[in-house]
Chain A
Amino acid sequence: MTTADPTVTRPTGSAAPGLDLLSPGRVLRDRIATLLVCAAFGLAMIPLAWILWSVVSNGWHLLVESQWWTHSQRSITQDRPGGGAYHAIFGTLVQAIICSLIAVPLAVFTAIYLVEYGRGRLARVVSFMVDILTGIPSIVAALFIYAVWVTTFHAQRVGFAVSLSLVLLMIPVVVRSTEEMLKLVPNELREASYALGVPKWKTIARIVVPTALGGIVTGIMLGLARVMGETAPLLILGPYAAGINTNLFSGFMAALPTMIRENFGTGDAAATERMWAAALTLIIVVLLLNLAGRFVARFSGVKK
């Protein structure tokens, strides 16, 4: 930021005292405001540090055991220690990847529509609906998929249905970030391409999207991080299973959030330990995706 630096001290006690001397009341109010604003930031950091500390200190010791990453919870009762989270990690990753395979093309094309094609009423409606989709509670998205998948088509509650409901939650994140990036692509690039006789679609596919690719990837990663942490769709559509299930279309599939929920409030020491360890695993996955996304954004942003 390059605004004039307001900290520069004003000349105090100059030729005309009382004219440019700040009155004590004004100085006091300024100091109090500074104090409150800094305190607000400090206050906001407390829960972040506290949450991360709670999860890390309670969960780390199971994570350093190799069987946490290689075994499932099959035939391990809640009060007995042992087993791992492989089944849940697998479920979380697979459901998120399937979700992104559906959501990303849809979202990127929607963003292309909004930036490159959309004019007039339809574009306004689409943009409005993307905003509404941003605010849709995850439980409502889950109920919708339930109403379609289970009630209407009489299908079973399976991993794929979870992915479908996650699609609704991922689309707005990717649309918005892609849209922002496409808008940053300088118009001169498009015009240069048109002037060379390149058709519009090729201009978009070869010039505009590659220029904005870093930002699009960032959006996808942030979207992935969001859907991986979602629990509500799993409660309705993807009940927990203790064993490994690699089939998205049959049987219940575990995921990290449902594994946490399963071990929550049981009172067993082993279950509580598993719960924190699963929470730490989830946080690690989500934060890694977030950091990777920001890293990509940093080094491949559209140069202005």
Chain B
Amino acid sequence: MATITGHSELDSRPSGDVGSTSRFGDRLFSGLATGSGVLVVAVIAAVAVFLIAQAIPALTKDDANFLTDRVWDVDATPLRFGIPDLLWVTVISSVIAMIIAVPIALGVALFLTEYAPSRLARPFAHLVDLLAAVPSIVYGLWGAAILQPYVKPLQEAAGYALGWFPMFDNTAGVGGTVFLASIVLAIMILPIVTAISREVFAQTPRAHKEGALALGSTRWEMIRTAVLPYGTPGVVSAAMLGLGRALGETIAVSMILSTVSTFTWSIFSGGETFASKIANNAQEFDSPAKAGAFIAAGLVLFVLTFVVNAIARVVIERRKAFTE
């Protein structure tokens, strides 16, 4: 019999299914899970390590200044290559894409969360998501073969009105301009920005919205005072993620952009981004010796997207800390 101390004979004499208390399965399973998690971290570290290790030999042989010289000559000895042109085209095309996409994505997200009839909101959201499912090479194809003639008049008008400013100089006369690439990039990042904005808007506390409406706001005033302030960090983060996607987009940009021999600041001229430079020279990858310079460019792209994505992540984390 158990005494008043609560100690029971049964406690020291297990009966029935004793099972294995060491639980080999538990250790195996948690080991596998933790191992997979660690592997993901290790892979990112390996990406950085391998890219740096492969870029350094090429960079030491580089006779030009990697950060400031406007040359790209990897067949010559010594090698001469620099990235400022690539950096400009990469950043300006992505930023313009972001400027076009974010307002539209905001509108679409508001439409899906606040305006669309609730029965249609879900199918409509799937339609927007379908834009993300279209492969990027199809975007490239469509942009280069179909959209280009439609953008040209737009470009000519802008060049006519604002051509005095070097960024809008429309005298290059190439078909695949940075502007065209930006429009296609904007369409490509639209679903990503929309999806994240939609998610944060949908999380707006109902009390805020109903409070605003009860005070007599119109629907738009309710959005402006309750939904938008609540969602701002999420939208900023969504825009950054879209920017990151645009910076790294490869095949669509490489199919659209015409390469030009002389660099201009104009967005109505061609050029190359980091990613399209690497893609356009894919045949150079038959020998590792020539690949080094491109890997160095890829490393810069990796750092750029890493920073942008990290910022996006930090912004959204801040918001979580606020609301919970």
Residues of A within 8 A of B (CB): 1-4, 6-7, 10, 20, 22, 26-27, 29-30, 32-34, 36-41, 43-45, 47-48, 50-51, 54-55, 105-107, 109-110, 112-114, 116-118, 122-123, 125-126, 128-141, 143-144, 146-148, 150-152, 157, 168, 171, 175, 197, 199-202, 204-205, 225, 228-232, 235-236, 239, 257, 260-261, 264-265, 275-276, 279, 282-283, 286-287, 290, 294
Known A-B contacts A109-B35, A143-B294, A260-B137; the reply to A3 vs B210 at CB < 8 A is: yes
Known: A4-B210, A40-B107, A47-B187. 9 other contacts (CB 8 A): A32-B220, A34-B115, A41-B112, A117-B34, A140-B248, A140-B302, A236-B285, A260-B141, A264-B255
Residues of B within 8 A of A (CB): 17, 19, 23, 25-26, 28-30, 32-41, 43-44, 46-47, 50-51, 53-54, 103-108, 110-116, 118, 121, 124, 126-131, 133-139, 141-142, 144-146, 187, 190, 194, 206, 209-210, 213, 216, 218-223, 241, 244-245, 247-251, 255, 275, 278-279, 282, 285, 288, 291, 294-295, 298, 301-302, 305-306, 308-310, 312-313
The answer to whether A33 and B223 have CB atoms under 8 Å apart is yes
Contacts of A6 in B (CB 8 A): 213, 218-219, 222
The answer to whether B247 and A134 have CB atoms under 8 Å apart is no
User: In the bound complex, how far is the Cα of B275 from the Cα of A118, in angstroms?
Assistant: 35
The answer to whether B138 and A279 have CB atoms under 8 Å apart is yes
User: Can you pick out 12 interface pairs between chain A and chain B where the beta carbons lie within 8 Å of each other?
Assistant: A51-B142, A110-B37, A136-B305, A137-B275, A139-B250, A143-B278, A147-B53, A171-B40, A229-B133, A279-B138, A282-B135, A287-B130
Known A-B contacts A6-B219, A131-B309, A264-B141; the reply to A41 vs B51 at CB < 8 A is: no
Contacts of B142 in A (CB 8 A): 50-51, 54-55
Give the contacting residue for A286; candidates B44, B113, B133, B249; CB below 8 A. Answer: B133
Give the contacting residue for A228; candidates B129, B135, B144, B310; CB below 8 A. Answer: B135
The distance from the CB of B132 to the nearest CB of chain A, in whole angstroms, is 9
The answer to whether A38 and B137 have CB atoms under 8 Å apart is no
The answer to whether B126 and A110 have CB atoms under 8 Å apart is no
User: In the bound complex, how far is the Cα of B154 from the Cα of A134, in angstroms?
Assistant: 35
User: In the bound complex, how far is the Cα of B298 from the Cα of A140, in angstroms?
Assistant: 6
User: In the bound complex, how far is the Cα of B123 from the Cα of A294, in angstroms?
Assistant: 11
The answer to whether B275 and A139 have CB atoms under 8 Å apart is yes
Give the contacting residue for B248; candidates A1, A29, A139; CB below 8 A. Answer: A139
The answer to whether A151 and B288 have CB atoms under 8 Å apart is yes
The answer to whether B110 and A37 have CB atoms under 8 Å apart is yes
The answer to whether A290 and B33 have CB atoms under 8 Å apart is no
The answer to whether A3 and B33 have CB atoms under 8 Å apart is no
Give the contacting residue for A4; candidates B104, B127, B213, B291; CB below 8 A. Answer: B213
The distance from the CB of B299 to the nearest CB of chain A, in whole angstroms, is 8
User: In the bound complex, how far is the Cα of B219 from the Cα of A144, in angstroms?
Assistant: 50
The distance from the CB of B162 to the nearest CB of chain A, in whole angstroms, is 23
User: In the bound complex, how far is the Cα of B37 from the Cα of A128, in angstroms?
Assistant: 11
Residue of chain B at shortest CB distance from A26 = B218
Q: Of residues B40, B112, B121, which shows the largest number of chain A Cβ atoms within 10 Å of its Cβ?
A: B40
The answer to whether B141 and A136 have CB atoms under 8 Å apart is no
The distance from the CB of A183 to the nearest CB of chain B, in whole angstroms, is 14
Which 6 A-B residue pairs are closest in the complex by CB-CB distance? Answer: A137-B248, A40-B107, A229-B135, A201-B29, A109-B36, A135-B309
The answer to whether B310 and A132 have CB atoms under 8 Å apart is yes
The distance from the CB of B209 to the nearest CB of chain A, in whole angstroms, is 6
Contacts of A116 in B (CB 8 A): 33
Known A-B contacts A140-B248, A143-B294; the reply to A110 vs B220 at CB < 8 A is: no
The answer to whether A148 and B133 have CB atoms under 8 Å apart is no
The answer to whether A139 and B310 have CB atoms under 8 Å apart is no
User: In the bound complex, how far is the Cα of B158 from the Cα of A11, in angstroms?
Assistant: 48
The distance from the CB of B107 to the nearest CB of chain A, in whole angstroms, is 3
Contacts of A290 in B (CB 8 A): 129-130, 133
User: In the bound complex, how far is the Cα of B220 from the Cα of A45, in angstroms?
Assistant: 23
User: In the bound complex, how far is the Cα of B194 from the Cα of A24, in angstroms?
Assistant: 31
The distance from the CB of B189 to the nearest CB of chain A, in whole angstroms, is 12
User: In the bound complex, how far is the Cα of B282 from the Cα of A150, in angstroms?
Assistant: 14
User: In the bound complex, how far is the Cα of B36 from the Cα of A107, in angstroms?
Assistant: 7
The answer to whether A199 and B25 have CB atoms under 8 Å apart is yes
The answer to whether B107 and A135 have CB atoms under 8 Å apart is no
Contacts of B103 in A (CB 8 A): 40
Residue of chain A at shortest CB distance from B25 = A201
Contacts of B104 in A (CB 8 A): 40, 43-44
Contacts of B33 in A (CB 8 A): 109-110, 112-113, 116-117
Give the contacting residue for B313; candidates A40, A55, A128, A294; CB below 8 A. Answer: A128
Residue of chain A at shortest CB distance from B16 = A197
Give the contacting residue for B34; candidates A113, A205, A239, A276; CB below 8 A. Answer: A113
The answer to whether A129 and B44 have CB atoms under 8 Å apart is yes
Known A-B contacts A51-B138, A112-B33; the reply to A135 vs B298 at CB < 8 A is: no
User: In the bound complex, how far is the Cα of B179 from the Cα of A173, in angstroms?
Assistant: 30
